[in-house]
Structure 1
Amino acid sequence: MTYLVGYGPRNDDRSAIELAAQFARAHPAPVVAVAVVPRGWGTPAAAGTDREYEEWAASEGQSTAELARADFARHPGLVGDAIWTPGRSVPATLLEQADERDASMIVVGSAAEADPGRVRLTSKTDRLVHSSTLPVAIAPRGYRTTSSVTRVTVGFRDDDASWSLLTRVAELVREVGARLRVVTFIVTPAAPVTNSVTHAQTQVIELWSMQATAALREAEEYLRSLDLGVDLEFHVAAGVDWPAAVAAAGWEDGDVLVVGSSSTHRLAQVFLGSSASKILRSSPVPVVIVPGARAD
C-alpha cells in the first residue's frame, strides 16, 4: 500500500504532500511523490534539439524531486520518497505509477487559481479524476495541518452510488479509527426580496428535508448494524446556495470530505455530477473522490 502524490515540476504549493502526510498519520504507509516531466519525441531530424530538451526536462525533474524531499523532511517519521519520470500525459503517467506501486490513493493539490483554503481541479487533475479506478484526494490550496484524519464526512444522496460509497467509507473509517459523519446537503433557494416564500415552495423544502432525514435514519440503522466501533454522526446541512449548505455542516481541523461517483458506467469510473462538483468547489477541507463500481 502506498500514497502516491502528483507533484508538479517546480511546485510552489506543498499541500498535496501535506495531505498525504495526514493520511499516513491516520493509516501508516509509504508516500511517494511523482513529478512527471515532458518526454522528448526522439525524432532523428531533431536529435540535437530533442537531446537538449530531454536534458532540460531531466534537470526540472531532479529539481522537483529535491523540493519534494525537502517537504518530506518537514514531517519527521514519515516514510517518503520522491522520483521524477518522463511522460506525455501527466494523468496517464500517474496512473501507471500508481499501478506499479500498488497505490491505494492518489493525492494532488488544487489549481494555482484556487482561492486559499479552497479546492479547485486543474485540467490535468480533472482528467485524472475521470479516469482513475483509485480514490483521488485533493488538497485545498495552501493546505497545512498537523492533525491526523479525525473525522470523515460522506456526502450522502440516498442513491445506489451513495449506498455503495457508504459501505466503502465505513471500511476505511474502521481502519483509521476516525469518526464517521454522514451529511445530506440541501439547497433551499432564498425568496426574492420583493416576494415572500410561497406555500408551495415551503412544502417542497419541507418534503426535501423529510426525505433527507428519513434516508439518514436508514443509513444510521445500516451503519450501526456493522458495529464499526467508531463514533457516528448524521446531519442535514441546508443553505440558500451550495457554499452556504456546505458551510452549514460545520468543519474542524482533521476533517476530510468524501464524495462519490454519480455514474457506474463502464466507460467512466468517476463522473462528477453537478451537485458533487459544487460541493467540491465549496469545501474548506480536503476532498476525496471515490470512483463508483464499474459496470460489466
Structure 2
Amino acid sequence: MTYVVGYGPRNDDRSALELAFQFARSHPETVVAVSVVPQGWGTPLAGGVDREYEEWAAGEGQRSAELAVADFSHHPGLDAEAVWITGRSVPAALIDEATARDAALIVVGSAEEAEPGRVRLTSKTDRLVHSSPLPVAIAPRNYRTTSRVTRVTVGFRDDDASWSLLDRVAALARASAARMRVVTFLVNPARRPVTTDISHAQTQVIDVWAAQAVAAQADAVAHLRSLGFADEEVEHGISAAPDWGSAVASVGWADGDILVVGSSSTHRLAQVFLGSSASKILRNVPVPVVVVPGAGV
C-alpha cells in the first residue's frame, strides 16, 4: 500500500508531500510522488512535432521527479519514490496510478491563490475529488509539520451517512494510533431581536435540534467505546454559531489534527460529491482535510 501524491512539474509548494509524510509517520507506507505530464498526440500526422513534444514532456517529468527527490530530504528515514507519467487528464492519471499501486490515499495540495493555512481546490483537484473512488487528502497552502496524525475529527450529523463515515474514520484513527473527536456543527443565522411567534417557534426548533445532537453524540461515543476506544481517546462536542467560519473555528485546532468529511454519490459517474455542509467546512478549516467517498455529509 502507498500514499500517492500529485506533484506538479511547476509546483512551488511542497504541502502535499508534507501531508503525505505526516501520514507515513503515523502509519508507515511508501510515499510516491507522481508528476503527470502531457501526453503526445500519437497520430501519424503529428510526426516529428509529436516526437519533439514527447521529448519536452519527458524532460519536464524528469525534472519534476528530481525536485520531488530533493524535497524528500526534509523527511529522512521514510520510504519514498518519485515517478512521472503521461496523461491527457491529470485527475484520471492520478486515479489510475493510485489504483495500480493499491494506494490508501491520494494526496494533493491547495490552489496557489489560497490563503496560507487554508484549503482551496484547483479545477483539477475539484475534478479529482468528484471522481475518485479513493479518499483524497488535501493539504492547506504552505502546510508544514513534523508531527504525526495525533487527532482525527469527524463531522457528525446522526444520519446513515454519518454513521458509515464514523466507522471508516475510526479505522483510520486506529491505524494511525490517533485520538478521535466527534463534532456536530449547529449553524443558524442570528435570531431577530424582535419577539414574535415565528422567532419563538424558531427558538423551540433550535432547542430540539440541540437536544437531538447531544443524544446523538452520546450514541456515537458509546459506539466508539464498543470498538475499543478508551475514554481518553475520544473527544466530542457541539459547535453552535451563526456562521460556518465561527462554528469551525470554535472547536479549536492544533498541529497533528486532520478533519475527515464524507461525500455522497448522486450520479453513477461521480463517486464523490461534496455536500453543502462538507464544502462549507472545507472552506473554513485550518487543517488538512480528507474527503472519503460514499459517506455523505
TM interval, short-chain normalised: over 0.9
Q: Structure 2: which amino acid aligns with 1:49?
A: V
SS of alignment partner, residue 82 of structure 2: strand
Name the residue aligned to 2:50. 50
Whole-angstrom distance in 2 between the partners of 1:266 and 1:224: 35
Name the residue aligned to 2:226. 225
Name the residue aligned to 1:253. 255
Q: Structure 2: which amino acid aligns with 1:27?
A: H
Residues 71-103 of structure 1: per-residue CA shift (max 9 Å, x gap): 111101111111111100111111111111111
Residues 30, 78 of structure 2: 8 Å contact kept:
yes
Give 1:268 shift.
Answer: 2.7
Whole-angstrom distance in 1 between the partners of 2:78 and 2:42: 38
Name the residue aligned to 1:290. 292
Whole-angstrom distance in 1 between the partners of 2:242 and 2:70: 43
SS of alignment partner, residue 129 of structure 2: helix
Whole-angstrom distance in 2 between the partners of 1:15 and 1:281: 17
Name the residue aligned to 1:26. 26
Residues 269, 293 of structure 1: 8 Å contact kept:
no
Q: Which moved more, 1:151-160 or 1:206-215?
A: 206-215
Whole-angstrom distance in 2 between the partners of 1:267 and 1:210: 38
Residues 110, 119 of structure 1: 8 Å contact kept:
yes
Residues 162, 295 of structure 2: 8 Å contact kept:
no
Residues 155-194 of structure 1: per-residue CA shift (max 9 Å, x gap): 11211111011111111211211100011111121245x7
Whole-angstrom distance in 1 between the partners of 2:21 and 2:169: 19
Residues 36, 93 of structure 1: 8 Å contact kept:
yes
The number of equivalent residue pairs is: 293
Q: Which moved more, 1:206-215 or 1:77-86?
A: 206-215
What CA RMSD, in Å, does the superposition of the two structures yield over aligned residues? 1.8
SS of alignment partner, residue 99 of structure 1: helix
Pairing of 1:1-296 with structure 2 (within 5 A): 1-191=1-191, 195=194, 198-229=199-230, 231-263=233-265, 266-292=268-294
Residues 97-147 of structure 1: per-residue CA shift (max 9 Å, x gap): 111111111100011111111111111111111111111000001101111
Whole-angstrom distance in 2 between the partners of 1:164 and 1:260: 9
SS of alignment partner, residue 55 of structure 1: helix
Q: Structure 2: which amino acid aligns with 1:165?
A: L
Residues 264, 292 of structure 1: 8 Å contact kept:
no
Residues 153, 257 of structure 2: 8 Å contact kept:
yes
SS of alignment partner, residue 116 of structure 2: coil
Residues 242-268 of structure 1: per-residue CA shift (max 9 Å, x gap): 111110111011000000113476443
Whole-angstrom distance in 2 between the partners of 1:94 and 1:263: 20
Residues 181, 232 of structure 1: 8 Å contact kept:
yes
TM-score by length of 2: 0.94
Whole-angstrom distance in 2 between the partners of 1:195 and 1:41: 67
Give 1:46 shift.
Answer: 2.2
Whole-angstrom distance in 2 between the partners of 1:264 and 1:41: 34
Identity of aligned residues (%): 71
Residues 10, 63 of structure 1: 8 Å contact kept:
no
Residues 21-44 of structure 1: per-residue CA shift (max 9 Å, x gap): 000000011000000000010222
TM-score by length of 1: 0.94
Whole-angstrom distance in 2 between the partners of 1:147 and 1:293: 27
Q: Which moved more, 1:180-189 or 1:41-50?
A: 41-50
Whole-angstrom distance in 2 between the partners of 1:68 and 1:83: 9
Distance 1:196 1:84, change over 3 A: farther
Q: Which runs of 5+ in 2 are unaligned?
A: none
